[in-house]
Structure 1
Amino acid sequence: MSVTLSKIRALNAVAEAGSYAAAARQLRVSQPAVSRQVRDLETEYAVRLFDRKNGQLKPTPLCTELCDIAERMAEAERNAERLLSRNNTLVNGRLSIGLGNSMPGMALIAAFHKKHPGVEISVETGSFENIISAVITREVDVGVLPDVPGDGRFRRELLIRQSVVAIVHPDHPATEIGHLTCRSLMQAPLIFRTKGSSTQRVVDRAFRSSDLMPTPLLTLDTRDAVYEAVVNGMGIGFMWRNGTGRNDIVQRVPVQEMQRAYEEVAFALTSEKSLLLEAFFMAVKNFRNGKLANPITQV
């Protein structure tokens, strides 16, 4: 035998109710079951847990200490239940989201939060590879990325379609031309993303399709770093057309070999099912169809 949760619950119920019968009603079990659990503890550890006074069972000092532990255990159980249920409630639930690009994912999250303000949202940002890995390992509940593999691992819901564009400083001649090609880009200082970026995957494909092997001036690990390098006139970078909500001096210029529109989707493991996920995927549909506030112009 050992000290089990059921025995501690029985002990605490008897201490509160003052009798085995009342404790049994409180726990919704039989009176013999309650008395047996208390007596098992007394027999195994050779202790006295209750004294009978005026027809009532009164806890001994030792029992009172055990009841304090029982209360802490009960609170831990309640906390565990709250934690587990938070993944399946829209009242005070918790949803973790992985974003490769700040937009359109952040606009979607804002729309979801407006509809379900009781849900606590945590956001993890990172490269394409990092977000895919986070969804697979369940570090996040759902991801938002472009060009997600269409295999059986993931449930996917289309958010928008968009292409990769070049981003250039307004003083660059490309802003007057209005378009670029991979061959013309070979003459410019280029700013690339590190491997693992969905943007860089598209850029690499485009140059390979033209039998070109550019050497970038800079290789940076975040979209924001690329953006700032372009703002400071260091060269031409690349990003998803709707990859940021910033609207400053940087110009978006289409590249002939990069005009294919890729699907940006919300995705989760096929095996993952919850009320929160269903609500999030419904928000994606509504966002795409313009039923929620949507500042993104689809490509």
Structure 2
Amino acid sequence: MRYVQLRAFHHVALHGGFSRAAEELHLTQPAISDQVRKLEEEYDVRLFDRHKRQVRLTEQGARLWEITKRLFDAEQQAADLLSESRALRAGTLRIVADSALHLLHILAAFRRRHPGVRVTVRSGNTETVLESLYRYDADIGVLGDLPERGDIEALRLNSTPIVAFAARSHPLAGRGPLTLAELAALPLVLREEGSKTRRKLEQAARAAGVALAPAIEAEGREAVREIVASGAGLGFVSRAEFGADSRLVEIPLALPGGPLTMDEALVCLRERRGAKLVRAFFDAAAEGGA
């Protein structure tokens, strides 16, 4: 049982329909229907009788609603209490990012404005960032793309091309752009399968009829960087994340459809966009970290 499933059920019961519940939660009707369906399937129970555009609670659904009314009433009371607290002076903001490099200027500005707030930053790929948000293990995420989800609020941070990189001592260091066919014949160091950078490269290669297979697969950007620096193969990263490392050399890519770009975005659950700390961090980001 997940919180989002109970929340979807509760609002359908409260508002008497899936469309009105979706409007209230700023989600799509299919998203609400899917959450309720999963809840019913997980426990092999029917919570609503559906007839055309009308829905009615079953006996089991009515009993569950009595519980969720107490649950969400308590949640609202907690929210009211916390809204009166010192959130912007002594709260904790949890961030999970595919790369903290995109946050540096925002973090500095946020800390100047709210020095009492504790900020935690964890690393993760696209999949783990979204999972952390949906599990409420994080307040804000940073993704290597703009998500197309109705329940996610996003703010674009930057857009930069994906490039290859190699150890300075590598035979290809300093040469011109590499094609996909050339990459297929080289030892590649790729991130885990949940990585958006890897997914975009593999999609571009498949479209060109080329197969890219990792000689080494490593979890996390830093692990890839260290392996590449040892001379074991070529890695890939967005140019904004290449950074300054005297051991490494950037190598551009020559792709049939033009550059592959990573649109880094600051994201949060739409329902949490109004939370004080989340709103304050998005404000700092929108103002360019000034």
AA at the equivalent of 2:112:
K
- Say if 1:102 and 1:243, in contact at 8 Å, map to a contact too: no
The match for 2:261 is 261
Please tell me the root mean square deviation across aligned C-alpha atoms, in Å: 2.4
The match for 1:248 is 246
- Residues 1-299 of structure 1: pairs in structure 2 closer than 5 A: 84-85=82-83, 89-243=87-241, 245-257=243-255, 259-272=259-272, 273-287=274-288, 292=290
What is the CA-CA distance between 1:144 and the residue it aligns to?
A: 0.9
Distance 2:87 2:222 in 1: 35
SS in 2 for 1:171: coil
CA deviation profile, 1:70-96 (whole Å, cap 9, x unmatched): xxxxxxxxxx89993598732112211
- Say if 1:158 and 1:284, in contact at 8 Å, map to a contact too: no
SS in 2 for 1:243: helix
- Say if 2:224 and 2:235, in contact at 8 Å, map to a contact too: yes
- Say if 1:88 and 1:274, in contact at 8 Å, map to a contact too: no
Distance 2:196 2:227 in 1: 19
- Say if 1:97 and 1:121, in contact at 8 Å, map to a contact too: yes
- Say if 1:226 and 1:237, in contact at 8 Å, map to a contact too: yes
What is the CA-CA distance between 1:237 and the residue it aligns to?
A: 0.8
Distance 1:118 1:133 in 2: 28
AA at the equivalent of 1:204:
E
Identity percentage of aligned residues = 30
Larger CA Rg, structure 1 vs 2? 1
Unmatched segments (≥5 aa) in structure 2: 1-77
Tell which deviates more after alignment, 163-172 or 250-259: 250-259
The match for 1:40 is none
Distance 2:242 2:93 in 1: 22
Query: TM-score normalized by structure 1?
Result: 0.64
CA deviation profile, 1:227-249 (whole Å, cap 9, x unmatched): 11111100101112222544322
What is the CA-CA distance between 1:146 and the residue it aligns to?
A: 1.2
SS in 2 for 1:113: helix
What is the CA-CA distance between 1:182 and the residue it aligns to?
A: 0.9
SS in 2 for 1:225: helix
AA at the equivalent of 1:99:
A
Tell which deviates more after alignment, 256-265 or 146-155: 256-265
SS in 2 for 1:233: coil
What is the CA-CA distance between 1:172 and the residue it aligns to?
A: 2.8
Distance 1:83 1:163 in 2: 45
Query: Which runs of at least 4 in structure 1 moved beyond 4 Å after TM superposition?
Result: 80-83, 85-88
- Say if 1:167 and 1:250, in contact at 8 Å, map to a contact too: yes
CA deviation profile, 1:100-138 (whole Å, cap 9, x unmatched): 113112443233223321211111211210111111221
CA deviation profile, 1:166-195 (whole Å, cap 9, x unmatched): 111123343332311111112211111111
SS in 2 for 1:104: helix
AA at the equivalent of 1:140:
A
The match for 1:65 is none
Query: Number of paired residues?
Result: 210
Unmatched segments (≥5 aa) in structure 1: 1-79, 293-299
Cα gap change, 1:203 to 1:88, in 2 (>3 Å): farther
Cα gap change, 1:88 to 1:152, in 2 (>3 Å): farther
- Say if 2:100 and 2:121, in contact at 8 Å, map to a contact too: no
What is the CA-CA distance between 1:206 and the residue it aligns to?
A: 2.0
Cα gap change, 1:244 to 1:184, in 2 (>3 Å): closer
SS in 2 for 1:176: coil
- Say if 1:181 and 1:255, in contact at 8 Å, map to a contact too: yes
- Say if 1:220 and 1:226, in contact at 8 Å, map to a contact too: yes
Tell which deviates more after alignment, 205-214 or 227-236: 205-214
